[in-house]
């Protein structure tokens, strides 16, 4: 049979017999089906699957938002519910059913509609408790699937209100003013199961007939999750189709709007380098100034000129049409990123003012009492006289750069597109990865015992996840999903431990950063915080200055508290049985692990090309197994002291 080509989003003016035959052929050939139907209808079948979500717009009234509740599904139909379209629409659905039921031995149709408005809601705005009614037939109901759907729907929450779910037996499983697209008799012949799902329209304003967009988004995500759980159960219990995971039933093919949004957000993210813009360019001069003034006056820091106008870039940011992304998972990630970019741009505009700190607390959080107590415990357990085991053996910035280039060359064997460079510069302090390059302060002197740990921190984590993200179709995975820094620094510090380089002074430094961030939030001055680190906790003067500078830069940046907090988070993740593989797909936050797994099951993401070198060592494997048994950070200290 000759192949049939079908342009994406082909617009159809009438559902004809020829069109239906064409759709049957495409499904028989295992191809995607996507058409724009009359009256703003749509048929989208990502690939042959044993189910179809249906929504029909009522002919006599408006029903804003309900159609969006099915658009994220891999197989869905949106159509005009007028009686004149009933016959061709019914023929289309029966043809799809017959074709796919023959492939999978059974087929499931779930038709969705909004419940009639309640008088109380019409009169005034009331609570937003989600409500669902599953309509089934007492004749051969798919009991397991119904139970799975009901259980999943009960987990849907809006403003902490859990959903109510009712299951009703009724011969007619369609909206009140419409007949069933597939009759009960035809359904039995085709081995098709038909369910209705009536949804309380809490996303609609009963007075204005507008929608509540955030309520609709939350409901859409919850409903999509419930649908996939039900489809998975149906596939396992009624069909010959065996998906490996319920997430595998989500959409694989992504439309142009997804790529446009991803590209636009990446362009905005790449228009400025947030960390560089809030890092002083004069750390050496500031230190000498501070020292000459006997640590009595705060130093003056200078910053790079902003390469963008934050207000103009915000205008561009909010022109990105995220609302056109139908996939609820991807839309959620994009909205998170837009929110983060908005806050970063606000902070750049507030650089040097007290308002900068408030933005930092929104982006990076503060210091909890538990985290402060942990930091104090670490500082109490580790003597200020602790030192690196290398004695007086240090590597210069140039020598460390050469070692970093060797490590990059190792990874390039497995991923030739890895184009990372190493730069030795005089306008930064310490080490920093920026846009796939390692930046090293010209003044750096690296203890020999810390070289491998820092290589795995910067190259084996930050550069590796950057280029793993570059290998994915989504640019967000290398520019960074919202809030990725905490997990990134957590696994980077974990890498130091797994290669045996998480020294006692390093742990003290991470704890000192937490104390400094806490004092910043409490209102302490630069000088006060420096003195506490130096006099109370015994840090060397230069170290105390560097920690304080990093915390007070820009007007107050709490980011450095995430190193210790991120390590705690990663240790809890490992203890809970979490696997490390998803953490290296790109720059993600802990909350995104389940989303990354979902996108992997959906085959939206590609295989990850790089994995940390140290994970091949027996030492790292042994240490990791110990962590799975519940090692705490204080346990790490004790082991380092033994």
What is the per-residue DSSP string for 364-409?
H----HHHHHHHHHHHHHS-TT---TTTT-EEEHHHHHHHHHHHHH
pLDDT at 117 > cutoff 90? no
* 119 pLDDT above the threshold of 60: no
pLDDT of residue 636: 78
- Helix (H) / strand (E) element for 59: namely none
Count of CB atoms situated within 10 Å of the CB of 577: 7
Per the structure, the complete domain to which residue 211 belongs is given by 11-253
How far is 478 from 499, CA to CA, in rounded Å? 25
* Mean pLDDT value of segment 69-81: 95
- pLDDT at position 4 is 37
What is the chain's mean pLDDT, rounded? 93
Q: What DSSP line would sit under 249-268, residue for residue?
A: GB--S--HHHHHHHHHHHHH
Residue 446 within a domain: no
What's residue 491's pLDDT?
97
Quote the pLDDT of residue 123: 43
615 φ, ψ (degrees, to nearest 5): -70, -10
**Percentage with pLDDT > 90 across the chain:** 86
Is the pLDDT at 5 greater than 60? The verdict is no
Confirm whether 321 is domain-assigned.
no
Asked if 227 contacts 73 with a C-beta cutoff of 8 angstroms, the reply is yes
Mean pLDDT lowest for which of 108-122, 145-159, 479-493? 108-122
148/233 Cα distance (integer angstroms): 7
Matching residue, tokens 């495409």: 26
Q: SS in 3 state form for 310-358?
A: HHHHHHHHCCCCHHHCCCHHHHHHHHHHHHHHHHHHHHHHCCCCCHHHH
Nearest to 352 by CA among 316, 391, 398, 300: 300
> Is residue 84 pLDDT above 60, yes or no?
yes
Mean pLDDT value across residues 579-598: 96
Residue 623 placed within a domain:
no
Position 360 scores a pLDDT of 97
The predicted structure's pLDDT at residue 395: 94
The model's pLDDT over 299-327, given as tens digits with 9 standing for 90+, comes to 999 999 999 999 999 999 999 999 999 99
267: number of Cβ within 10 Å: 14
Burial 430-450 (b: 16+ CB within 10 A, else e): ebbbeebebbbbeebebbebb
Residue 127: the pLDDT is: 65
CA distance 182 to 530: 75
Are 114 and 197 in contact by the 8 Å Cβ rule? The answer is no
Does residue 141 belong to any structural domain of this protein?
Answer: yes
pLDDT at 389: 63
Token pair for residue 275? 């960390």
pTM of the predicted protein model: 0.91
CA 66 to chain centre: 26
pLDDT category, 388, cuts 50, 70, 90?
confident
Residue 376 domain flag: no
For the residues 226-232, what does the mean pLDDT come to?
98
pLDDT at position 7: 42
End-to-end C-alpha distance for the chain, whole angstroms = 73
Q: d(Cα 321, Cα 167) in Å, to the nearest integer?
A: 38
Say if CB 132 and CB 66 are below 8 A apart: no
Residue 135 is assigned to a structural domain of this protein = yes
Q: Give the domain CATH number at 66.
A: 3.40.630
Q: Tell me how far apart the alpha carbons of residues 168 and 177 are, in angstroms, rounded to a whole number.
A: 18
Give the per-residue pLDDT at 263: 97
The reported pLDDT for the residue numbered 622 is: 92
Above 90 in pLDDT, residue 14? no
Q: Which of 74-88, 337-351, 459-473, 548-562 has the lowest mean pLDDT?
A: 74-88
Say if 188 falls within a structural domain: yes
The answer on pLDDT for 126 being more than 60 is no
Q: Is residue 159 part of a domain?
A: yes
Domain tally, the chain = 1
Q: What is the pLDDT of residues 170-210, one digit of tens each?
A: 999 999 989 999 999 999 999 999 999 999 999 999 888 89
pLDDT of residue 125 exceeding 90, the answer is: no
- In this prediction, residue 642 carries a pLDDT of 45
Q: Give the residue carrying structure tokens 């995975």.
A: 477
């Amino acid at each position: 049979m000759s192949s049939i080509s079908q342009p994406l989003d082909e617009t159809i003016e009438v559902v004809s017999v020829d069109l239906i035959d064409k759709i049957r052929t495409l499904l028989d050939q295992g191809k995607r089906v996507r058409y724009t139907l009359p009256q703003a209808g749509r048929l989208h079948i990502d690939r042959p699957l044993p189910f179809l979500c249906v929504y029909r717009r009522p002919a006599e009234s408006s029903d804003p938002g309900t159609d969006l509740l099915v658009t994220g599904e891999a197989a869905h139909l949106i159509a005009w519910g007028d009686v004149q379209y009933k016959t061709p629409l019914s023929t289309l659905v029966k043809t799809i059913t017959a074709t796919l039921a023959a492939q999978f031995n059974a087929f499931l149709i779930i038709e969705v509609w909004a419940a009639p408005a309640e008088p109380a809601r019409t009169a005034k705005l009331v609570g937003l408790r989600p409500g669902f009614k599953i309509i089934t037939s007492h004749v051969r109901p798919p009991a397991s699937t119904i139970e799975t759907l009901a259980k999943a729907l009960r987990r849907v929450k809006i403003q902490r209100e859990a959903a109510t779910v009712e299951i009703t037996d009724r011969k007619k499983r369609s909206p009140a003013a419409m007949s069933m697209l597939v009759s009960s008799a035809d359904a039995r012949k085709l081995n098709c199961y038909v369910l209705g799902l009536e949804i309380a329209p809490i996303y609609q304003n009963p007075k204005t007939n507008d929608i509540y967009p955030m309520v609709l988004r939350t409901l859409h995500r919850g409903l999509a999750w419930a649908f996939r759980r039900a489809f998975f159960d149906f596939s396992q219990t009624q069909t010959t189709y065996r998906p490996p995971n319920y997430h595998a039933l989500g959409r694989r093919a992504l439309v142009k709007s997804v790529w446009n949004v991803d590209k636009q957000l990446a362009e905005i993210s790449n228009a400025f380098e947030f960390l560089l813009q809030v890092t002083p360019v004069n750390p050496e001069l500031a230190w000498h100034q501070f020292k000459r003034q006997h640590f009595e006056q705060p130093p003056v820091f200078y910053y790079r000129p902003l390469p963008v106008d934050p207000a103009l870039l915000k205008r561009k940011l909010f022109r990105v049409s995220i609302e056109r992304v139908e996939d609820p998972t991807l839309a959620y990630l994009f909205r998170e990123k837009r929110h983060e970019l908005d806050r970063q741009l606000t902070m750049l505009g507030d650089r040097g003012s007290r308002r900068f700190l408030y933005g930092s607390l929104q982006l990076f959080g503060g210091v909890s009492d538990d985290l402060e107590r942990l930091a104090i415990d670490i500082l109490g357990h580790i003597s200020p006289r602790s030192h690196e085991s290398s004695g007086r053996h240090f590597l210069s910035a140039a020598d460390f750069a050469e070692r970093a280039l060797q490590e990059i060359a190792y990874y390039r064997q497995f991923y030739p597109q890895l184009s990372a460079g190493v730069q030795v510069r005089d306008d930064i302090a310490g080490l920093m990865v920026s846009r796939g390059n390692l930046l090293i302060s010209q003044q750096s002197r690296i203890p020999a015992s810390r070289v491998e740990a820092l290589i795995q921190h910067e190259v084996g984590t930050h550069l590796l996840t950057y280029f793993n993200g570059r290998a994915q179709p989504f640019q967000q995975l290398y520019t960074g999903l919202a809030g990725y820094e905490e997990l990134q620094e957590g696994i980077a510090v974990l890498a130091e431990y797994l290669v045996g380089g998480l020294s006692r002074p390093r742990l003290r430094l991470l704890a000192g950063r937490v104390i400094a961030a806490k004092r910043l939030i409490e209102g302490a001055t630069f000088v006060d915080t420096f003195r506490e680190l130096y006099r109370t906790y015994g840090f060397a003067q230069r170290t105390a200055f560097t920690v304080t500078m990093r915390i007070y830069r820009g007007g107050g940046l709490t980011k450095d508290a995430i190193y210790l907090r991120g390590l705690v988070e990663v240790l809890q993740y490992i203890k809970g049985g979490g696997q490390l593989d998803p953490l290296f797909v790109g720059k993600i936050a802990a909350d995104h692990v389940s989303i990354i797994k979902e996108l992997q099951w959906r085959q939206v993401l590609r295989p990850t090309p790089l994995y940390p070198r140290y994970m091949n060592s027996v030492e790292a494997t042994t240490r990791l197994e110990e962590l799975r048994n519940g090692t705490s950070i204080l346990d790490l200290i004790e082991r380092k002291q033994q």
